Chains A and B, each alone.
Chain A
Amino acid sequence: MDVASSSANSSRVHNDGSVYAPISLPLRQAFKQHVAKTNIHNITEKFTKACNGLDVGQLVKDEYFTLFESIGALEIMDPKMDSGFLQPGETLEDDYDPLTPLLPDELIGIMDQLLCYEMAWHTGYPLSQTLFTSLHIDRLLWPETKVFEHAQFYRGDVEEGKRPGVFLEVLRAYCLALVKGCDFVIAKVTGRDYFEEEDFCTNTYNRVLFVQVPVDVFARELDAAVDLMEDPDLDIPDALRKAITTRLDFRKSFLTALDLDLPLDNLSRYWAPILSSITTIKNTHALGTPVPSSFSTKIQRKLASTVPPRPIVDLAFADALAKLTQLCTDCEEATRFTTLPLDPLEYQAFLWTFASRDPTPLPYSRSYLSTILFDPATLNTSISLPLTDIRSLVFPSSPILDPLNWTLSPPRNPLLPKPPRLQLALLIDDFVDRAGQPYLDFWIALGQNRCRLRRMLTHVIIAWDFLQVDAALVDADLMATCQQLGVEPQVLDNPLTAWVYVKKLWMMEKVVLLGFEQDIYLPDEFAGMYYFLSVVAAKRAAELDRCEKHVGERTMQLIGASRYQDAQDVDDMGPYVDSELQQAKGVSEFAKALYRFYTILLYLGLIPHLKRPFSTEELRYELRMKPFLALQPVEVPLFAEFQAALQPYGSYSSPSSSASLQADLRDPDSALWTSIDAAIKAAKDAFARVKKYGSRKSKASGVEQAWGKEVNGLLASCVALGVGVAGVKDAVGKAEGDADSGTGALGVKVEIPKVGEGKRYAEGWVVGKVVKV
Chain B
Amino acid sequence: MDNAKASFYLSQFIGKPLRIHTSDGRVFGGQMKCTDKDRNIILALTYEYRSPSAEVIRKAIEASGNPSAPVNWNSRYVGLVVIPGEHVRKIEFEESAYSGHKSGMVL
Within 8 A of A (CB), among B14-51: 14-15, 19, 22-24, 26, 28, 33-39, 42, 44, 48, 50
Residue total for B at the interface (Cβ-Cβ under 8 A):
56
User: Does B76 count as interface, using CB distance less than 8 angstroms?
Assistant: yes
Distance of A56 Cα from B38 Cα, bound (Å): 8
Residues of A within 8 A of B38 (CB): 51
Give the shortest distance, in Å, between B59 (CB) and chain A (any CB): 11
Give the shortest distance, in Å, between A144 (CB) and chain B (any CB): 14
Distance of A49 Cα from B2 Cα, bound (Å): 10
Residues of A within 8 A of B2 (CB): 53
Contact B84 A36 (CB under 8 A): no
Given contacts A54-B7, A76-B83, A93-B55, contact A59 B34 (CB under 8 A): yes
Give the shortest distance, in Å, between A87 (CB) and chain B (any CB): 10
Give the shortest distance, in Å, between B106 (CB) and chain A (any CB): 9
Most B CB contacts (10 A, CB to CB) among A41, A48, A75, A77 go to: A77
User: Does B66 count as interface, using CB distance less than 8 angstroms?
Assistant: no
Residues of B within 8 A of A51 (CB): 6, 10, 35-39, 85
Contact B81 A75 (CB under 8 A): yes
Residues of A within 8 A of B91 (CB): 42-44, 47-48
Contact A39 B97 (CB under 8 A): yes
Contact A47 B96 (CB under 8 A): no
Stretch from A64-72, A375-383, A426-434, A472-480 contacting the other chain: A64-72
Contact B37 A56 (CB under 8 A): yes
Most A CB contacts (10 A, CB to CB) among B9, B19, B38, B94 go to: B9
Within 8 A of B (CB), among A119-173: none
Contact B96 A36 (CB under 8 A): yes
Residues of B within 8 A of A92 (CB): 50, 53, 74
Contact bitstring A278-304, B, C-beta under 8 A = 1, else 0:
000000000000000000000000101
Contact A43 B93 (CB under 8 A): yes
Contact bitstring B61-105, A, C-beta under 8 A = 1, else 0:
000000000000010111111111101011111111111000000
Give the shortest distance, in Å, between A400 (CB) and chain B (any CB): 61
Within 8 A of B (CB), among A17-68: 34, 36-44, 46-62, 65
Contact A65 B36 (CB under 8 A): no
Residues of A within 8 A of B37 (CB): 51-52, 54-58
Interface size class of A (residues with CB under 8 A): 35 or more
Residues of A within 8 A of B97 (CB): 36-37, 39
Residue of B nearest to A56 (CB): B37
Distance of A389 Cα from B14 Cα, bound (Å): 64
User: Does A74 count as interface, using CB distance less than 8 angstroms?
Assistant: yes
Contact B82 A75 (CB under 8 A): yes
Contact B36 A54 (CB under 8 A): yes
Residue of B nearest to A45 (CB): B91
Distance of A36 Cα from B99 Cα, bound (Å): 7
Residues of B within 8 A of A57 (CB): 36-37
Interface residues of B (CB under 8 A from A): 1-3, 5-7, 9-11, 13-15, 19, 22-24, 26, 28, 33-39, 42, 44, 48, 50, 53, 55-56, 74, 76-85, 87, 89-99, 107
Give 7 closest A-B pairs by Cβ, nearest first: A53-B6, A61-B34, A53-B1, A50-B6, A36-B96, A60-B10, A73-B82
Interface residues of A (CB under 8 A from B): 34, 36-44, 46-62, 65, 69-70, 72-78, 83-86, 91-93, 302, 304, 306
Told that A51-B10, A57-B37, A74-B82 touch, could you supply 17 new A-B pairs with CB distance under 8 A? A39-B96, A40-B94, A41-B107, A47-B9, A47-B91, A51-B38, A51-B39, A52-B37, A53-B1, A58-B3, A60-B35, A65-B44, A70-B34, A70-B80, A74-B79, A76-B28, A302-B76
A-B contact pairs, 10 of them (CB 8 A): A42-B91, A46-B9, A47-B39, A51-B38, A54-B36, A62-B34, A74-B79, A76-B22, A76-B28, A77-B23
